[in-house]
C-alpha cells in the first residue's frame, strides 16, 4: 500500500521561502515521475511542477520561475521550494506519482498519476 504524505503547508509569509515535502511511504518500485498539483476554489486542479527519474523538471508557466521542484531518491521524498509566494499561490497542494520513469509531454494530466497525497493547504499572507 503506497501513501504520499505532504507536509510544510499552513500559513506562510508572502515573499518568504517555505518548502513543501512529500514522503512516499510503502513505495518499493524504481524511482518514477512525481509532481505537484495545486487546487484553488472554483478552479480545476492544475499541475505546477514535475521531476522525473533523471532529475529533469518541468513547470507551469504561471509559476514564473518562482518555485523549484526537487527529489531525494534515497529518502523517497519530493520537495517544492516556494520562493516569494504570492496570495495567488493560495490553495491545496497535492503531490502525485506516476508509475513511469519519464514524465512525458502530458505531465499536466491528472490521469497520468496513479498515487495521490491528501494535500496540504497553503495560505499566503
The model's pLDDT over 73-120, given as tens digits with 9 standing for 90+, comes to 888 899 999 999 999 999 999 999 999 889 999 999 999 999 999 999
Confidence (pLDDT) at 75: 86
**What's the distance, Cα to Cα, between the start and end of the chain in Å?**
37
Q: Which three cell numbers stand for residue 121?
A: 493547504
Closest CA to 26 of 50, 2, 54: 2
Q: Which three cell numbers stand for residue 115?
A: 498515487
Residues 6 or more apart whose CB falls under 8 angstroms from that of 111 comprise: none
13 by DSSP, 3-state: which? Answer: coil
Confidence label for 8 from pLDDT (cuts 50, 70 and 90): very high
The model's pLDDT over 58-78, given as tens digits with 9 standing for 90+, comes to 999 988 789 999 999 888 899
Confidence (pLDDT) at 26: 86
Amino acid at each position: 500500500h503506497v501513501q504520499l504524505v505532504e507536509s510544510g503547508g499552513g500559513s506562510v509569509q508572502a515573499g518568504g521561502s517555505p518548502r513543501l515535502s512529500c514522503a512516499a511511504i510503502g513505495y518499493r518500485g524504481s524511482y518514477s515521475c512525481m509532481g505537484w498539483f495545486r487546487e484553488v476554489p472554483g478552479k480545476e486542479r492544475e499541475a505546477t511542477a514535475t521531476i522525473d527519474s533523471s532529475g529533469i523538471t518541468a513547470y507551469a508557466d504561471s509559476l514564473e520561475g518562482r518555485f523549484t521542484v526537487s527529489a531525494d531518491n534515497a529518502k523517497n521524498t519530493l520537495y517544492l521550494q516556494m520562493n516569494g509566494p504570492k496570495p495567488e499561490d493560495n490553495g491545496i497542494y497535492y503531490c502525485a506519482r506516476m508509475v513511469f520513469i519519464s514524465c512525458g509531454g502530458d505531465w499536466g494530466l491528472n490521469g497520468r498519476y496513479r498515487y495521490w497525497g491528501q494535500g496540504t493547504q497553503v495560505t499566503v499572507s
